[in-house]
Structure 1
Amino acid sequence: MDVHDINRTTIAQFRAGGDIEGMHRDRLVLLTTTGRRSGVAHTTPMMFHRDGRRLLVVASNVGAPSHPDWYFNLEKHRHVTVEVGADRYEALATPLTGEDRVRTWAVLKRTYPFFAEHEMRTARIIPVVALTRA
């Protein structure tokens, strides 16, 4: 099974409201971005971390040398759709910078040690993105 098949299955299970195979529903967000070249909507399931009123997502791409496609999409189109729990809303995606990114990244690595492993696998700076309800 390829990653696109896994994502399609995860999205269907999430939207059906049942269990999601191999994932925790309470930590899963569906992020819909607009394709930077195609203009087509793309939905990606991913883990999130709640930080006050914003949701944080990490473009670790499991430590790959390049950012994931969804990140490149939101660099061009910052308006996204978020589905979390039973809630669906429009949001603004903002990559964290400066001290906010440094502080938040440290918290995320302590809370989820696998992000530190992802960081060690790549030379790039892994983006952390805040999703804020529009």
Structure 2
Amino acid sequence: MLYGAEHVKAYEDSDGETGYDWGDQGAKILILTTVGRKSGEQRKNPLIFREVEGGYAIVSSNGGAPSHPAWHHNLLADPNVKVQIKGDRFAARARVATAEERAKIWPQMVEVWPDYDTYTTRTDREIPIVILERA
């Protein structure tokens, strides 16, 4: 399986032919580009997503670490992001899902990546779901 920068490069070079399908559970990957809140540089991350009403859902799990992933902090500082799904590249606006949205979407995310439930046992924080909406 591909990870990190290697995953991003393979995905971008192939318009998602390599890296879109990930893992054994049928997880689908998008590339999220945020602007670093400290560096001002573009940061790209391959993330599992599900299409949901009004956009695309991603999970700020950070593997169950005590803090949110850097990309989550970046999009809180600047919610204007770029997204690539296969060959489709578009501007989007990111927002944290409401409690009601999260309750509805969480089981859908666990369906494609059961480890999300495991990650909740590793941290005291509530793991947010982020909604990406086309700009």
- Fold in common (TM above 0.5): yes
CA distance in 2, matches of 1:109, 1:29: 17
Query: Which 5+ residue runs of structure 2 have no aligned equivalent?
Result: none
> 2:96·2:131 contact (CA, 8 Å) conserved in 1?
yes
Task: Report the alpha carbon displacement of residue 106 of structure 1 after superposing the two structures with TM.
Answer: 3.4
**The residue matched to 2:132 in structure 1 has which SS?**
strand
Higher mean Cα deviation, 34-43 or 103-112? 103-112
**The residue matched to 2:22 in structure 1 has which SS?**
coil
**The residue matched to 2:123 in structure 1 has which SS?**
coil
> 2:49·2:56 contact (CA, 8 Å) conserved in 1?
yes
Task: Report the alpha carbon displacement of residue 11 of structure 1 after superposing the two structures with TM.
Answer: 1.1
> 2:50·2:57 contact (CA, 8 Å) conserved in 1?
yes
Match of 1:15 in 2: 12
The code of the aligned residue for 1:101 comes to R
Query: Which 5+ residue runs of structure 1 have no aligned equivalent?
Result: none
> 1:10·1:45 contact (CA, 8 Å) conserved in 2?
yes
CA distance in 1, matches of 2:27, 2:115: 18
> Residues 22-101 of structure 1: matches in 2 within 5 Å?
23=22, 27-101=28-102
Cα 1:121/1:23, change in 2 over 3 Å:
same
CA distance in 1, matches of 2:96, 2:74: 12
After superposition, the C-alpha distances for 1:35-62 in whole angstroms (9 at most, x for unaligned) are: 1112111111111111134110000011
CA distance in 1, matches of 2:19, 2:34: 22
For the aligned residue pairs, the C-alpha RMSD in angstroms reads: 2.3
Task: Report the alpha carbon displacement of residue 26 of structure 1 after superposing the two structures with TM.
Answer: 7.2
CA distance in 2, matches of 1:83, 1:66: 25
Cα 1:121/1:107, change in 2 over 3 Å:
same
- Determine if the alignment matches structure 1 residue 130 to structure 2 residue 131: yes
Cα 1:26/1:109, change in 2 over 3 Å:
closer
Indicate the structure with greater helix content. 1
Normalising by structure 2, we get a TM-score of: 0.86
Cα 1:45/1:21, change in 2 over 3 Å:
closer
Q: Which runs of 4+ in 1 moved over 6 A?
A: none
